[in-house]
Amino acid sequence: MEKLRAHFSVWLAKLVTKLAGITGWVWLVKLMRRLTGTQVTVEQMMAVRQAIKENSACKLLIFGVGNDSWFWMNSNSGGRTVFLEDDDFWLRKVKKRVAGIEAYLVDYDSKIEEWKEMIDKPELLEMKFPDEVANATWDVILVDAPTGWGEGTKGRMKSIYAGRKLVSESGHVFVHDCDREVEIAYCNALLKPENFVKEITAVDVGYLRHYKFQA
């Protein structure tokens, strides 16, 4: 009976996540967050989804895979969605769980303690991406990885820099956890205040900043 309940819970979470992505109905997104433990808030998810829907064949790039990956794929069913992840174990786990996901392993090779040294040195912020990522420009980019919550983590210095470099001329960049010092500093330095659209605050799960660029 316990196994049956577990299988049903997994099936239900996947179904609700798919329908939430397809429809964008707020009540389904709320239910999905409850079932999957997704950290990004409903309001934050809907802001990213709205930007996706501005493009009929959106090219969506997301730094980090997680319980919300299936939601983003179904939100962008008419376009292309690619994920970048630095945790090999977690990536393999998500790939087994999410059929058809296009995701690549990357290496940030950075330490959050180095953020002040790196911020004015683009050569230290460069990183290698698969050709499938590097040779494209992206309409919407969501930066929610790597980890950057404290000493010993890799920090989001390189992913924010890459977001600015890879976004299309009129694209959107969203950065999560912008209540933290490093994310704030790198957004201000690289994404620029003149491109800032809004910040969606939240309790305990991190602020989301939205930047929109002009051709």
Model confidence band, residue 123 (pLDDT cutoffs 50, 70, 90): very high
Residue 167 has pLDDT above 90, yes or no: yes
**Cα–Cα distance between 51 and 30 in angstroms, integer?**
19
Q: Give the residue with greater pLDDT, 10 vs 68.
A: 68
H runs (alpha helix) in 54-126 = 69-75, 88-97, 115-118, 122-125
**Cα–Cα distance between 13 and 116 in angstroms, integer?**
41
What residue segments make up the domains of the chain, in order of their start? 40-212
Residue 114: exposed, middle, or buried by beta-carbon count in 10 A (0-12, 13-18, 19+)? middle
User: What's the average model confidence in pLDDT over 100-105?
Assistant: 97
Model confidence band, residue 1 (pLDDT cutoffs 50, 70, 90): confident
- Residue 85's beta-bridge partner residues? 105
Tell me the two tokens of residue 173: 């960049």
Each residue's pLDDT tens digit, 22-48:
999 999 999 999 999 998 999 999 999
Cα three-residue angle 56-83-130, rounded to 5 degrees = 105
Each residue's pLDDT tens digit, 168-213:
999 999 999 999 999 999 999 999 999 999 999 998 899 999 999 9
Give the predicted TM-score (pTM) of the model: 0.96
| DSSP at 114 | G
CATH 3.60.20.30 fits 40-212, yes or no: no
